Structure 1
Amino acid sequence: MGQRCLCDFIAGTRCRRSNPRQQPRRSGSRIVKPAPEATTQPDRSAGASPAVAGVPRPRPPLWATLVATFFGAGRLKPGPGTWGSVAAVILWALVSWHIPPANRTWATIAVATVVTLIGIPAATRVSRTSGLKDPQFVVIDEVAGQLVALIAVPLGWKTFLAGLILFRVFDILKPPPVRQLEPLPEGFGIVVDDLAAGLYALAIMHLLLHFRLLIG
């Protein structure tokens, strides 16, 4: 007949049967308790991204955002890189008229150096927080490269326009070693390749001026 509970023989009495899986098992002289059921919890310590873990990405400092986007020029569409170069040319054209001609070359070098030194850490901070290797809205690299392309260039709309076009061409085509500089880490890779493109544009610009193919 099998095992029956005593309460089965008492009318109106309901027997409470225990779950055999929850009963401790005897092993020899010891009582072995059942292991607690494992609960499935997401592992958030295994390198999960903030988006997966439900934690928003931290924002970069305001100064880094302003510098990296060149005060919002990088947010313009289409072609944020071109907008960054245009903004650099316009701003430098307005400033350079107030610099004595004898000091313009060194002033351009100094400004390009300062922009580079500030732009690299700013681009690094923004790149880290955005999770992108080279965000399109970061245009401080175009500003630095564009200034390099205008070193020792006579003032005039023709030279400014030629410098803008030449720099954008080399920045897009990226002849060696420009493209090879892109894999450099973080802000260095973002900015240094544009400096190399600016040197290409500067060399062609001075060749055009030397052979009088371009008159400022």
Structure 2
Amino acid sequence: MQTMSQNSAAKWVATVGGAGFLRPAPGTWGSAVAVGLALLLHYLGGFPVLAIATLLVFPIGWWATAQYTQQSDDHDPSEVVIDEVAGQWIALLVTSYGAWRMGADPLALYPGWIAGFLLFRLFDITKPNLVGWADRRGDALGVMLDDVIAGVYAAICTGILAALFHLVIL
């Protein structure tokens, strides 16, 4: 049996402090909040802090999603956006690493942040191959995994775009 505070904590985490209740397109709102949080984490400690936070958000999000959806027929309600945070942060790791490695202000690499955001949303919405497979699991792990995989796809594509940009421009 879960306690009221455990249920409240799960709801707060799963909806990312209520961002998941924003309409329309709560997943996009959750992703936008994730970009802001990623920038904040980068400013606080660079790529290492964002990487550690990214590793931690997955198990915490999995727990919160499982708790929040425990008594529901809907395994993936639209207000649950912690999965977007996990996936979006993965998508942004490439850009964060580049800024950290070069000692640059992360906003100087704004095309990478925008590309990571847009590519993540594209893969999260269209659910190609492994993203769709994870989404069809129908459980809290699948809710988290589909966004993690979408984030990996977006990170790969963002890295490719950055490499192409630097080959052409530089």
Count of residue correspondences: 154
* Cα deviation digits, residues 93-142 of structure 1 (max 9, x gap): 12312324xxx1x3322111111010001101111223212100000000
TM-score normalised by structure 2 residue count? 0.83
Q: Give the structure with the higher percent helix.
A: 2
Identity of aligned residues (%): 37
1:123 aligns with 2:65: yes
1:74 aligns with 2:20: yes
TM-score normalised by structure 1 residue count? 0.66
C-alpha separation in 2, matches of 1:61 and 1:123? 11
Structure 1 residue runs of 4+, over 3 Å off?
Answer: none
SS in 1 for 2:78: coil
Question: Does the CA-based 8 Å contact 1:108-1:148 persist in structure 2?
Answer: no
Name the counterpart of 1:160: 113
Which among 138, 143, 161 is matched to residue 190 of structure 1? Answer: 143
SS in 1 for 2:44: coil
Q: Which amino acid aligns with 1:135?
A: P
* Cα deviation digits, residues 69-114 of structure 1 (max 9, x gap): 00000000000000000001012112312324xxx1x332211111
Higher mean C-alpha displacement, 158-167 vs 141-150: 158-167
- Structure 1: which 5+ runs fail to align? 1-57
Question: Does the CA-based 8 Å contact 2:112-2:162 persist in structure 1?
Answer: no
- Larger RCO (alpha carbons 8 Å, 6+ apart): 2
Which among 45, 50, 62 is matched to residue 99 of structure 1? Answer: 45
Name the counterpart of 1:149: 91
Name the counterpart of 1:109: 51
Q: How does 1:174-213 map to 2 (within 5 A)?
A: 174-212=127-165
Q: Which amino acid aligns with 1:96?
A: H
C-alpha separation in 2, matches of 1:148 and 1:95? 13
Measured on the aligned residues, the alpha-carbon RMSD in Å equals 2.0
SS in 1 for 2:165: coil
- Structure 2: which 5+ runs fail to align? 100-105
Alpha-carbon distance, 1:200 to partner: 0.5
SS in 2 for 1:129: coil
* Cα deviation digits, residues 38-75 of structure 1 (max 9, x gap): xxxxxxxxxxxxxxxxxxxx977111000000000000
Q: Which amino acid aligns with 1:99?
A: G
C-alpha separation in 2, matches of 1:210 and 1:182? 30
Name the counterpart of 1:133: 75
C-alpha separation in 1, matches of 2:67 and 2:136? 17
1:85 aligns with 2:31: yes
C-alpha separation in 1, matches of 2:17 and 2:61? 12
